[in-house]
Chains A and B, each alone.
Chain A
Amino acid sequence: DGGITQSPKYLFRKEGQNVTLSCEQNLNHDAMYWYRQDPGQGLRLIYYSQIVNDFQKGDIAEGYSVSREKKESFPLTVTSAQKNPTAFYLCASRRRDGGDSPLHFGNGTRLTVT
């Protein structure tokens, strides 16, 4: 079955360490997105990529970095510069060939930084 796989499900890190969250999709989607979710909040866009080797900052990109070397993969690095990294991170993807291609989400990675 096609889908979006995020790994690991839970991640624990010490403050000051960079950490990379994995996102892989086999839906042949062109566009991929990273969102952050905090309790009681909506989803906030961190970075998105509409095509391989290209990506744009979202609303809260500071302290994060991404790469898009392959169509299927869009890893997110949470750097030590991110002041409040503990959160639930969601990866999503969609086709680019039409307006009726809604966003599909992975099952998320819960990052805890202490």
Chain B
Amino acid sequence: GQQLNQSPQSMFIQEGEDVSMNCTSSSIFNTWLWYKQDPGEGPVLLIALYKAGELTSNGRLTAQFGITRKDSFLNISASIPSDVGIYFCAGDSGGSNYKLTFGKGTLLTVNP
């Protein structure tokens, strides 16, 4: 089946630093999604990308849909303690069955 390689697995940063994480795939996806999950909670959608090359921002978050449609990155600028959590990428290859493929997540720790 399809697989997403998400990196890094974990990051430890100081408050105020910028963060970058990415996902790559051997398959083409029509949609890329980025979610954040707090401990014991469900993932919350951060950014959805629908077009190759699309660059979308949501506050301090910026995500891009790679031009080859096989990769995406998420940047967080000026990190704050509440950015702590697990960030997941997810890809949808299209079709009538909306079955997302998820990366294994990036665990972000922000030291105040």
- Asked if A68 is at the interface of the complex by the 8 Å CB criterion, the answer is no
Number of B interface residues in the complex (CB < 8 A): 28
Given the contacts A42-B103, A50-B97, A59-B1, A108 and B41 also touching, CB distance less than 8 Å: yes
A90 touches B104 (CB 8 A): no
Closest A residue by C-beta to B3: A42
Q: A32 → chain B, closest Cβ, in Å?
A: 11
How far, in whole Å, are A40 and B30 apart by their CA atoms in the complex? Answer: 26
Given the contacts A100-B48, A105-B44, A42 and B30 also touching, CB distance less than 8 Å: no
- 30 A-B pairs in the complex with CB atoms less than 8 angstroms apart: A4-B42, A31-B98, A40-B104, A40-B105, A42-B4, A42-B88, A42-B103, A43-B43, A44-B102, A48-B97, A48-B98, A50-B98, A56-B97, A59-B1, A99-B31, A99-B92, A99-B94, A100-B31, A100-B50, A102-B31, A102-B33, A102-B45, A103-B45, A105-B42, A105-B44, A107-B40, A107-B41, A107-B42, A108-B40, A108-B42
On A, residues with C-beta under 8 Å from B are 4, 6, 31, 40-45, 48, 50, 56, 58-59, 90, 92, 94, 96, 99-100, 102-108, 110
On B, residues with C-beta under 8 Å from A are 1, 4, 6, 30-31, 33, 35, 40-45, 48, 50, 88, 90, 92, 94, 96-100, 102-105
